[in-house]
Amino acid sequence: MSRNRYRLAAFDVDGTLVGSTVFVWQTLHDYLGTDAESRKKAWDDYFARRIPYSQWFEWDIRLFLEKGANRQRMLEAIDRLVLNRGVKETLETLKAAGMVLVVISGSLDIVLKRFDLERYFDDIFLNEVYFNRAGELIGWRPTPFDLENKAAGLEWLADKHGVALEQTVFVGDNFNDVSIARRAGLSIAFNSSCQELIDCSGVHIPGNDLREILPHICGDRPEPPGARNRSTSK
């Protein structure tokens, strides 16, 4: 068990763990060349509460399919993305400190898989897509926890792991992180240009080095696992 004040850290994905994108959905739409008017209509309908999140998700998937989306083409789009600085070192350090690590994000599971990040997390809530052996997109499942429902996701995970909400941390970067940032014990606006998120977060970290969150979670910045051995090795 962690001796730190905080015991569970929840992360957004797009813009937080992975850079060179605001939302991976936008990256995929741009790469596949989907219809901009149809995309805007779905966006407007969702935020006007005319359709639920699950229908918005389905709408976007259908637009992908109209443009021949498959595993290869979607991965080609994601290959344009990069990990933010220090992501794996940060996750390793928090894990070594005994923290529960979770993802609560509106991103897609193929992003975590592309960067080999799944292994760091105890629980993952994001949108999922499924391919057959030929690489065809044959199935999908929306996350139950995006936008205003992210806070509910944090509450559910805190209860599952026996952690008080005051002992939770959330790290995110955009407007869809505001609800969960207001619920977490410590909220960190990371590399964010969203003033609403910055204003409701306890910490704002500009720049894209995720290691900068460590002093706020663990106190004095700890060494990552194996750092002492690496520094003395030849």
Cα–Cα separations (whole angstroms), residue 72 to 62, 67, 76, 180? 17, 13, 6, 33
pLDDT tens profile 182-225: 999 999 999 999 999 999 999 999 999 999 999 999 875 444 43
Does residue 228 surpass a pLDDT of 80? no
CA dist 68 and 227 (Å) reads: 46
CA dist 173 and 22 (Å) reads: 9
Contact 193, 206 (CB under 8 A): no
pLDDT tens profile 94-153: 999 999 999 999 999 999 999 999 999 999 999 999 999 999 999 999 999 988 899 999
Q: What is the mean pLDDT of residues 219-234?
A: 39
Kindly give the interhelix angle for 53-66 and 24-32, rounded to the nearest 10 degrees: 30
In three-state secondary structure terms, 98 is: coil
Q: What is the pLDDT of residue 148?
A: 80
pLDDT tens profile 19-59: 988 899 999 999 999 999 999 999 999 999 999 999 999 99
CA dist 40 and 58 (Å) reads: 14
Residue type, 204: H
Q: What share of the chain in percent tops pLDDT 90?
A: 87
Q: What is the pLDDT of residue 221?
A: 44
